């Protein structure tokens, strides 16, 4: 096992899960994710990247991220309720995804979150908006980044991780 530690300009490979503040898993990624530490190329939340600093292969890191640092506060303007009769049948189930466009043609995905009393509610907020997210990250491998990877902030998939 490598004795390298995660620090700037290291390529890190990991898997992760994200749970809400009740412990419900909202996202789980079992296919390894690669990134160049310190390059902010994959949009890693800053506090999560900071928590990885100094870790080794085999470490399991747990990080709590409050809404302000993670997925933001819940925006009630992104929640809409309509009569069930106005909604096409294919969207009449909890968890269904509905893509909507505004007047400028910009699209956003909304998720059906509630159906009751002849009404259907969709929500365009991230499922973790307004909640503390709990990340669990498993470090799989660490290696030195190549000059191109450091310059571009993107991992070269053709360079062996081991």
Structural domain including 14 reads 10-68+129-145
- Both tokens of 4, joined, read 């390298």
Q: Same structural domain for residues 108 and 136?
A: no
- Whole-number pLDDT of residue 103: 84
Residue with tokens 């190549």: 146
For residue 16, the domain's CATH number is 3.10.50.40
Task: Report which of 136, 138, 155 is spatially closest to residue 146, judged by C-alpha positions.
Answer: 155
- Whole-number pLDDT of residue 1: 47
Rounded mean pLDDT for each run of 10 residues along the chain, 162 residues in total: 82 95 92 88 82 96 94 93 91 90 87 93 92 96 92 81 62
Instruction: Give the integer Cα–Cα distance in Å for 105 and 79.
Output: 19
- Whole-number pLDDT of residue 60: 97
Q: Do residues 4 and 52 lie in contact, with contact meaning Cβ atoms separated by under 8 Å?
A: no
Q: Same structural domain for residues 61 and 18?
A: yes
- Whole-number pLDDT of residue 152: 84
Question: Tell me: the pLDDT tens digits for 96-123?
Answer: 998 888 888 888 899 999 999 999 999 9
Question: Tell me: the pLDDT tens digits for 83-98?
Answer: 999 989 999 999 999 8
């Amino acid at each position: 096992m490598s004795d390298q530690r995660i620090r700037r300009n290291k390529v890190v490979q990991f898997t992760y899960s994200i749970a809400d503040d009740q412990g419900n898993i909202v996202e789980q990624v079992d296919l390894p994710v690669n990134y160049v530490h310190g390059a902010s190329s994959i949009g890693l939340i800053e506090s999560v990247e900071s928590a990885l600093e100094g870790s080794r292969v085999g470490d399991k890191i747990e990080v709590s991220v409050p809404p302000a640092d993670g997925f933001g506060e819940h925006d009630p303007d992104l929640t809409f309720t309509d009569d069930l009769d106005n909604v096409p049948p294919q969207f009449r189930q909890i968890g269904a995804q509905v893509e909507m466009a505004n007047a400028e043609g910009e699209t956003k995905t909304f998720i059906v979150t509630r159906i009751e009393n002849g009404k259907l509610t969709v929500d365009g907020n991230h499922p973790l908006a307004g909640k503390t997210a709990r990340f669990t990250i498993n470090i799989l491998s660490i290696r030195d980044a190549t000059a191109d990877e450091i310059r571009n902030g993107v991992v070269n998939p053709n360079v062996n991780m081991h």
